[in-house]
Amino acid sequence: MAGTIHSAHFTSRQFPISDLTGLIDGFKPDCLLLEMREDYLARGWLADGPADMAYCAYLAVDHGIPICGIDEWCDHHVEREDRMFGNTLAAMERQGGQRFLLLTGYSHIHELAIRLPGAAYTPIPASEDAMRRMMGKEASMRVPAGLPDGLRQAAERAERGETPFSRAWARSRRRLAEKLETDAARIAGAPAS
């Protein structure tokens, strides 16, 4: 389980999005549990949630790693955390005894961590050295196939009112799609379009 900083990963020098790539590549999970709605994932809506979760979802697809959504929105914090924990256990049960990596916004980590000791799971701790190898300078930045288009499609759904996201959220997804395309072109050594 690792806490994330959502959209800030795309601008942070200390915790860049490549750190999440490093975690996924390093842990090699059999299933990725993400702070995304399962009903959206079932529709193929991989970018309708936090930006870092969309990045990880598309990266998982590139790697052939199954994804399960654990998020469920509601107005009450404790109820949401209870639902997310229930969804986590249900996803783990559906997938069977596999190696899971749970990625969620940092604010959810404490609530999930205090609930997990009562569940039947075995944590796989990572040493500080292993974490350094997975993250930081050794982790590579890449733009998963389909992510920029997925972000634009998510923005369109929000603008049509198919999801509860605001127009400002939609604009931020369009800007991120443009940034990722520029980054992909830079990484590939091609001029940005």
- pLDDT digits 0-9 by tens, 157-183: 999 999 999 999 999 999 999 999 998
Residue range of the domain that includes 29: 2-188
Identify whether the C-beta of residue 147 lies closer than 8 Å to the C-beta of residue 180. Answer: yes
Distance in angstroms (rounded) separating the CA atoms of residues 102 and 97: 14
- Asked, for residue 182, whether it belongs to a domain, the answer is yes
pLDDT at 136 over 70: no
- Asked, for residue 168, whether it belongs to a domain, the answer is yes
Selection from 8-22, 43-57, 62-76 with the highest mean pLDDT: 43-57
- Asked, for residue 172, whether it belongs to a domain, the answer is yes
Q: What is the pLDDT of residues 150-164, one digit of tens each?
A: 999 999 999 999 999
Residue 147 phi/psi, 5-degree rounding, is -60, -50
- Asked, for residue 102, whether it belongs to a domain, the answer is yes
- Asked, for residue 139, whether it belongs to a domain, the answer is yes
Residues of the chain with pLDDT > 70: what percent? 89
Four-point Cα dihedral 31, 17, 179, 45, nearest 10: 20
- Asked, for residue 71, whether it belongs to a domain, the answer is yes
Identify whether the C-beta of residue 50 lies closer than 8 Å to the C-beta of residue 6. Answer: yes
Q: What is the pLDDT of residues 33-64, one digit of tens each?
A: 999 999 999 999 999 999 999 999 999 999 99
Between residues 191 and 139, the one the model is more confident about: 139
- Asked, for residue 193, whether it belongs to a domain, the answer is no
**Number of independent structural domains in the chain:** 1
Between residues 184 and 159, the one the model is more confident about: 159
Residue holding tokens 């800007």? 175
Quick one: which of 187, 138, 188, 144 has its CA closest to 16? 138
Distance in angstroms (rounded) separating the CA atoms of residues 68 and 42: 9
Between the two ends of the chain, the Cα-to-Cα distance in Å is 37
Which structure tokens are listed for 49?
A: 């949630």
- Asked, for residue 52, whether it belongs to a domain, the answer is yes
Instruction: Provide the pLDDT confidence category of residue 191 given band limits of 50, 70 and 90.
Output: low
Q: Fill in the amino acid letter for 88.
A: T
Average pLDDT over residues 69-96: 91
pTM of this structure: 0.89
Distance in angstroms (rounded) separating the CA atoms of residues 152 and 21: 22
